[in-house]
Structure 1
Amino acid sequence: MTNRSKLEDAGRPLTRDGLRDFLDGLPNPPRLLGLGEPTHGGQAFPQLRNEILRYLVEDAGYRSIAIESDCLAGLLVDDYVHTGDGELDDVLTRGFSHGFGAYAANRDLVEWLRDCGGDVRFYGFDAPMETMYAPSPRGAMLYAYDFMAGRVDADLMLGARGEIEELCGDDARWVDPAAAMDPARSVGSAPEVTRLRVLADDLRAVLVADAPRLIAATSADAWWRADLHLRAAAGLLRYHAAMAQDTPGRVNRLMWMRDAMMAESLLSIVERERDRGPTLVFAASAHLQRQLSRWEQAGPILAWWSAGAIAATRLGDAYAFIATALGAAPDKEIGVPAPDTVEGLLAGLPHERYLLDGPRLAAVAGHSSPRAGFPPAAGYFPLEPAHLAEAEGVAFLRKV
């Protein structure tokens, strides 16, 4: 059998039937299915995500999607999906981070979810921050404080609302973009931040300890939202503290902390959706793959465990991962792949789109050459031949 025949035998065209066959071939139905994209900024992979989500909802009982976007801002999107309240343009602007609300595919996603009548939930699962800054924890802490105030015994509510306001101070001082590279500009070493970290920890302890009363007085969903806000606040405060540390591994530690927060969100989503159905999660492959993620910049190579890898330690085979790959992307100056790379081998298949079994693809292409020759500005992470066996699937688009 030729290599091409082996490749064709390892997969099937990426269609509704092909996805159904792929899922049927997994050892167990996943509770969390990761779909990783190799680069941000294009429409092809978010559009593919939308198509796959529709199949999963209609054929496999999926009832939620989580994307690489601010977990708190995502609540605005989910509220719109369920109620229709608000203006779509405002929801897209304020409900997505990283500029993702400007993507046509994300507008299409929100409109489709709305058409589902609120049956499919939307989640952001990223930390509530941008690439170059993290905001104040004020809003997240006050949301949770107000949820508990008047419902929890007063003597259990350590700290006061006014103290949180005073400790946070001017929100502008938290979002200095220069602090990302200069620890001296960060507020994270200030004594107010240390006190806020204690208060956030204490508030969450009370939220958990008084959960029976709080849920009975409100709802499980309302309690979940308060818990999400406190997890986000604690994560932000840890992140600010790490930003203030002038150590050689500072940036790498920030990468670890972000994905750890992402993993907490994913595990919370899986638990919340336990009785409703599985979840599709969409993000850069570096946030979902099982292997140690690596990113080489001008300085040292950054390496961290992805949110998917962390979540998989808890979920086992209830987590499955599909890496996505592309042949050529002219808009990003990514040319036709060399024939001795994984992408080059896949580009020789007769169909434009394929979904392949990861371990079977590894048996054929696992010793291929790593792909090179694309500009750093493309933000592109090609397939790693050595990683293929640990992905349940690989989705390939010949040209985007």
Structure 2
Amino acid sequence: MRHPHTHPRWPWKTFTLVATGTTVITVVAAPATRAAAHAGAHVPAHAAVSSAAHAAVHGSAVTGWLRRHAAPLAGIDPAAPLTDLAALRPMLGDASVVGLGESTHGAAEETRLKHRTLRYLVEELGFRSIAWEEDWTVGLEVDDYLRTGKGDVNTLVRKMARTWRTREVADVLGWLRAYNATHDEQVRFVGVECFATGPRAYDAVTRYVAETAPGRKAELARHMRKIRPDTADMGAYVQWYYGVKDKKPYIRHARQAYELVRKVPHDDGDRAYELALQHARQIVSFYEYFDQKNVYQYRDARAAENLRWWRDRTGDRIAYWAASPHTAKAAGVTVHAPGGPPLRFDGAGSLLRRWYGRKYRSIGFTFTRGTLAGADGRPARVPAPPRDWADAPFGAVRHAQYAVDLQASRAPDAVRAWLRTPAKMRCVAAYDPAEPEGHYMSGSSPAGWFDVIVHRQEISPPHPIA
């Protein structure tokens, strides 16, 4: 089926921008979604605290405790020795999955610190997979590059979501490729998102059925004619599909294709079958995703399931690279941004914590102040967070960057209150300098969201790859 890729008009101001291919995708909820998210975004009674009460615990006890327990990090150069990061080993324990959550996608220094941390996880702790806040099919291309070196890293980064199209991310992928080129144990890459499942997944399913169940090939083809994207520009395809009023026929064909694959005769442990079924599952997830009342709830549930599937398949210890609302270990995170109602959902990290317990550790990368690109693309100065925000005390530590363990069992009462008291914490999507206090997440506390904080005092925008 061929469709014109028209661009719908949105009746609200959008603030979360992602892209694939050459077309920007506006990843937002439908009007009913926004209403549902807004209605459900209340703060529980136990979480409601006054600004004055929360600020009261930000005194000398908290700042003094942070200064005593902060482990200074030597710098942000990803290629520098990793000796200083040895402080992370006891903080992470025997974790099999570690979330690397960033408070904004727009800080070069946070990306470089995450790059250094990833190096430590790979080189010192034996992690062998990285799950990324990126589409499944784009992830397949990244994994191909990391294993074979074929292609150009800058070209590859341009295929990723617009968020990741930076020199700093290209450096991460370049290092991973260099590591694989000199080590027998390869580091793998998996995109855990479903928001832009491209033709590669459809073609893989078609090949599998043709090879293993040729008698079902024509039946599958009837479904694929209805749902396989007719363009490699998934941005354009998403914009078109988002505007389709009745998505049920597409969802039905996707589910029927999945069921066809599921019923293909196979042996237990047949890895080709398992992979084909995963491709089919991603196709279903793509079509269902844009028909949800809470797209973020659905998206993060699928991301967590995809990560778990990958871990079951590989047995690898995994680093999970994403924004902090996705990696935070507490359920019920609420994201606030100027121009839109709050968005409340259970992040992937909360499911990973539920499934893996303390085998899942959550690291939050945060900053005090600096410069971000505003929504108009121009540099905008970001002040320190307000005094009553949970991350405000991090700026009182006299290190340019440091790590601190939030799993404190023997801390003063004021510190334990700060660690466990629900409060706002900085979370920036598209920065609006007119409302510097309008960008935050709520619903839990520092220790509720994170096991470890890696903090940077001053940040600046990343370097874009055109």
Give the alignment's TM-score, normalised by structure 1: 0.80
SS of the residue aligned with 1:116? helix
Post-superposition offset of 1:103: 0.8
User: 1:41 and 2:106 equivalent?
Assistant: yes
Q: Residue by residue, what CA displacement relative to the aligned partner does 1:289-312 show, whole Å, maximum 9, x if unpaired? A: 122121235454321111111122
Residue in structure 2 matched with residue 289 of structure 1 by the alignment: 328
Task: Describe the shift of the 1:223–1:9 C-alpha distance in structure 2 as closer, same or farther (beyond 3 A).
Answer: farther
User: 1:175 and 2:237 equivalent?
Assistant: yes
1:107 aligns with one of 170, 182, 186? 170
Residue in structure 1 matched with residue 162 of structure 2 by the alignment: 98
Task: Describe the shift of the 1:12–1:381 C-alpha distance in structure 2 as closer, same or farther (beyond 3 A).
Answer: farther
Residue in structure 1 matched with residue 201 of structure 2 by the alignment: 140
Q: Residue by residue, what CA displacement relative to the aligned partner does 1:125-151 show, whole Å, maximum 9, x if unpaired? A: 22242xxxxx6x764233113123222
Post-superposition offset of 1:110: 1.5
Residue in structure 2 matched with residue 247 of structure 1 by the alignment: none
Aligned residue identity for 1:71: W
1:127 aligns with one of 191, 194, 198? 194
2:416 aligns with one of 354, 358, 363? 363
**Greater fraction of residues in helix:** 1
* Superposition map of 1:18-57 within 5 A: 19-26=85-92, 28-57=93-122
Residue in structure 2 matched with residue 194 of structure 1 by the alignment: 252
Post-superposition offset of 1:329: 2.1
Listed as ranges, the gaps of 5+ residues in structure 1 are 130-134, 244-249
Worse overlay, 289-298 or 355-364: 355-364
SS of the residue aligned with 2:399? coil
Post-superposition offset of 1:237: 2.4
Structure with larger RCO (C-alpha < 8 A, sep 6+): 2
Residue in structure 2 matched with residue 117 of structure 1 by the alignment: 180
Cα distance in structure 2, aligned partners of 1:285 and 1:372: 10
% same residue: 22
Task: Describe the shift of the 1:18–1:89 C-alpha distance in structure 2 as closer, same or farther (beyond 3 A).
Answer: closer
SS of the residue aligned with 1:395? strand
Does the 8 Å CA contact 1:72/1:128 hold for their aligned counterparts?
no
* Superposition map of 1:221-260 within 5 A: 222-240=272-290, 242=291, 250=293, 253-260=294-301
Residue in structure 2 matched with residue 69 of structure 1 by the alignment: 134
Cα distance in structure 2, aligned partners of 1:271 and 1:376: 38
Aligned length: 366
Post-superposition offset of 1:82: 1.1
Post-superposition offset of 1:266: 1.0
Post-superposition offset of 1:231: 1.8
1:7 aligns with one of 61, 66, 71? 66
Post-superposition offset of 1:33: 0.2
Cα distance in structure 2, aligned partners of 1:383 and 1:11: 24
Cα distance in structure 1, aligned partners of 2:443 and 2:346: 18
Listed as ranges, the gaps of 5+ residues in structure 2 are 1-59, 75-81, 373-379, 460-466
Task: Describe the shift of the 1:224–1:91 C-alpha distance in structure 2 as closer, same or farther (beyond 3 A).
Answer: farther
Cα distance in structure 1, aligned partners of 2:350 and 2:218: 37
SS of the residue aligned with 1:90? helix
Residue in structure 2 matched with residue 246 of structure 1 by the alignment: none
Give the alignment's TM-score, normalised by structure 2: 0.70
Cα distance in structure 2, aligned partners of 1:81 and 1:11: 35
Aligned residue identity for 1:296: H
Post-superposition offset of 1:90: 2.6
Q: Residue by residue, what CA displacement relative to the aligned partner does 1:224-254 show, whole Å, maximum 9, x if unpaired? A: 54233112111112224x25xxxxxx2xx21
SS of the residue aligned with 2:157? helix
Does the 8 Å CA contact 1:29/1:318 hold for their aligned counterparts?
yes
